[in-house]
Structure 1
Amino acid sequence: MIHPSLPRSIQLTAALIVTLASSSHAAEKLDVVKGKIFNVQPNQKCFELLTETVIDPKTDEGKSRHTIYWNDETEFTKVVRHQNFKQIKGRVLVEFHGLNEKWADAIQAGKPFRHRSLNILPPSNKKPLGMSKDRSKLVARFTADPNSPRNRDGVVEFDGKSIKASLPGPSGAVDVHSPATAKDLSSGFWETTIHGQRSDGKFLASNMEIYPKTDPRDNDDPTLPRVLVVGDSISMNYHQATKEQLNGIANYYRVVGNAGPSDRGVTWMELWLGDYKQKGLHWDLIQFNHGLHDLKQLYNEETKTYGKYQIDIKAYQANLEKEIAILRKTGATLMWCSTTPVPNSSIGRWDNVTMGRRKDEDLAFNKAALEVISKHPDILINDLNQSVRDAAKSSEHFTNWNKGTDVHFWHAPQQKIVGAAVANAIKKALKKGSSK
């Protein structure tokens, strides 16, 4: 049963996993699923799709790799994202999607409006011009204004009117759609959203949106080891500082986004690892951590008391064991990174649920993690918790951090200190790994 007091995003994730796993073809429900494309086989017209892992509750086993087929009728669309209209030339066909009531009213009144995301459609697109019945979408002709500040403005033609349309800022998403072919799959590094259905025991894609990604091998120094960091926003804080200090020593990467709680690690780890069996996409060292999300607790504002953890300690330990089993498949040297301190108790809202972190609760979760890691003597340990506690006692840069409730390291001097601790641990781990 999914606990009703958990944050909505957690409930939805759990519900999705349960729903997908409830049928005999749980892991093959792939319509409108996004993932990475690997191992393209043009002659067999198929490829391997790497997705978020779906867990079957009956077997407690997960599946993240799927074989996808295409045929001569499959449609391929290349999608390239921009943050402004600089690359948009001439009069084009656009689709604004996800319009709210305010901007829909403005458009119908012929007044200027702002919207965060839109698609630039190919000339061959057959979508009818106009606004959808629910007013959430608008398909219209559009001309970008090359003289607008930061290339964020243009003019939409609607109902005989010319209406100014603007992106709200650097977070704008302008997705340019253009025709592609199956041949493109073999000549690039792609993510995809697939649409299709099972046919004769195979999943056949009817259409695919493919998104070009940079092949990391184009930027890597092939003479250096490849390092991956799996972590939450703390690892995002120290990422750049660590990367700079490992320049010329390692090809340093961290997972895209926030690795969050340990249950997310179990379901997303395969996707984060990528196709590590391919030459040049292997991992020599993987540092992993979860904790600051797991230890968050429900908070009763009336009684001012803390309740259940987001992930209780036993489940946390079980998740770490599952992660270790997945990570071992890579053959990489593994290093556990202890969870950094909670300087003082805090309360906040996550998905409209009041939760908080208690001061020093990190110690309880690090103790639990160490019980797991101690069963695997080959796994190295980066005690970042102790490194931060030492820095908090000795460095003036942590004075305000010590007094506050924010677990993050937002200031460059803090990031440099924490980043150095991680970089030093990685250097030592690489030396041990090379001496195996």
Structure 2
Amino acid sequence: MKILKSRLLIVITLVVLFSSYNYKKPKVLIIGDSISLGYTPFVKEGLANESDVFHNPGNAQHTGTGLKKIDEWIGDETWDIVQFNWGLWDLCYRHPDSKVQGNRDKENGKITYTIDEYASNLDSIVTILKTKTDAKLIFVTTSYVPENEAGRFKKDAIRYNNVAKKVMKKQSVIVNDIYEASIPIHQKFGRGSDNVHYSKQGYKKLGEIVTKFLKTEIESIKSK
């Protein structure tokens, strides 16, 4: 009886070890601008036990950059989730003579992409993504734009988010709408009423929102 129990214990141990050895964590790719670059380290930390999280090299900027580089960013990897966002660069006005960082100037500048161009570009990017990967796609909305931002109008974040959500609905893409939650975070942990960026604590708070959302989606993948 003791020998039988010992053999059974060995078999169970081997099964557990074999399962652990062959288990591969889901792979998550985050594509996005400087806001996503700010919160990604906290997402990696928060999902360390659930998945391997990566970010596209550098800043994904606007949808024009996305159209040019989306193939490169997806590459030949087998992604389980691709989370992406664009908007802050698309709705930004710039003028070559502006001395503000990034040549931002919402009074005299030209918008990077009109709202219709933004929608069209997003639609094309999603179509490309669907041909490049079988990953679950998640779109994250644009975060809060403070009133005194030099190159961006506060209301445009809402307008561009609304049209983006229509594109995602059409394309059956999941949306993580962080806009409303980002407002109090920016007001408490933002870098000022003229800056769309956040302090480290602000990025941590945004990261917690993104992490919670991704955890749910990762669990749904594991349960299949």
Determine if the TM-score, normalized by the shorter chain, exceeds 0.5: yes
Number of the residue aligned with 1:104: none
Greater length-normalized contact order (CA 8 Å, ≥ 6 residues apart): 2
Number of the residue aligned with 1:251: 52
Matched, 1:287 2:78: no
Stretches of 4+ moved more than 4 A in 1? none
* Partner secondary structure for residue 82 of structure 2: strand
User: Which of 302, 308, 315 is the aligned partner of 2:117?
Assistant: 315
Q: 1:304 to 1:273 in 2, by over 3 A?
A: closer
Aligned residues of 1:346 and 1:357 also touching (Cα < 8 A):
yes
Aligned residues of 2:91 and 2:157 also touching (Cα < 8 A):
yes
Matched, 1:362 2:157: yes
* Partner secondary structure for residue 342 of structure 1: coil
Equivalent residues in 2 for 1:336-375 (5 A)? Answer: 336-347=139-150, 356-375=151-170
Number of the residue aligned with 1:414: 202
Number of the residue aligned with 2:214: 426
Aligned residues of 1:295 and 1:362 also touching (Cα < 8 A):
yes
Answer 1 or 2: which has greater strand percent: 1
Q: Which has the larger radius of gyration?
A: 1
Query: How far off is 1:321 after superposition?
Result: 1.0
* Partner secondary structure for residue 154 of structure 2: coil
Q: Distance in 2 between matches of 1:292 and 1:307?
A: 15
Equivalent residues in 2 for 1:11-90 (5 A)? Answer: none
RMSD of Structure 2 on Structure 1 (CA): 2.2
Equivalent residues in 2 for 1:8-407 (5 A)? Answer: 223-276=24-77, 282-298=78-94, 305-306=107-108, 308-329=110-131, 330-347=133-150, 356-377=151-172, 379-392=173-186, 397-398=188-189, 401=191, 403-407=192-196
Aligned residues of 1:380 and 1:429 also touching (Cα < 8 A):
no
Residue identity matched to 2:179: N
* Partner secondary structure for residue 270 of structure 1: helix
Aligned residues of 1:285 and 1:332 also touching (Cα < 8 A):
yes
Q: Distance in 1 between matches of 2:217 and 2:94?
A: 37
Query: How far off is 1:376 after superposition?
Result: 2.2
Q: 1:306 to 1:375 in 2, by over 3 A?
A: farther
Cα deviations across residues 131-178 of structure 1 (Å, max 9, x unaligned)? xxxxxxxxxxxxxxxxxxxxxxxxxxxxxxxxxxxxxxxxxxxxxxxx
Aligned residues of 2:91 and 2:112 also touching (Cα < 8 A):
yes
Query: How far off is 1:313 after superposition?
Result: 1.2
Aligned residues of 2:93 and 2:109 also touching (Cα < 8 A):
yes
Aligned residues of 2:165 and 2:175 also touching (Cα < 8 A):
no
Q: 1:388 to 1:304 in 2, by over 3 A?
A: closer
Number of the residue aligned with 2:5: none
Query: How far off is 1:239 after superposition?
Result: 1.5
Q: Distance in 2 between matches of 1:249 and 1:232?
A: 24
Aligned residues of 2:126 and 2:171 also touching (Cα < 8 A):
no
TM-score, normalising length: structure 1: 0.42
Q: Distance in 2 between matches of 1:423 and 1:359?
A: 26
Query: How far off is 1:298 after superposition?
Result: 3.7
Q: Distance in 1 between matches of 2:83 and 2:110?
A: 28
| Unaligned ranges ≥5, structure 2 | 1-21, 99-104
Residue identity matched to 1:386: E
Aligned residues of 1:227 and 1:251 also touching (Cα < 8 A):
yes
* Partner secondary structure for residue 344 of structure 1: coil
Query: How far off is 1:391 after superposition?
Result: 3.1
Q: 1:323 to 1:388 in 2, by over 3 A?
A: same
* Partner secondary structure for residue 143 of structure 2: coil
Aligned residues of 1:343 and 1:360 also touching (Cα < 8 A):
no
Answer 1 or 2: which has greater helix percent: 2
Q: Distance in 1 between matches of 2:162 and 2:125?
A: 18
Aligned residues of 2:92 and 2:106 also touching (Cα < 8 A):
no
* Partner secondary structure for residue 30 of structure 2: strand
TM-score, normalising length: structure 2: 0.79
Q: Distance in 1 between matches of 2:40 and 2:194?
A: 22
State the percentage of identical aligned residues: 31
Q: 1:392 to 1:222 in 2, by over 3 A?
A: same
Aligned residues of 2:63 and 2:118 also touching (Cα < 8 A):
yes
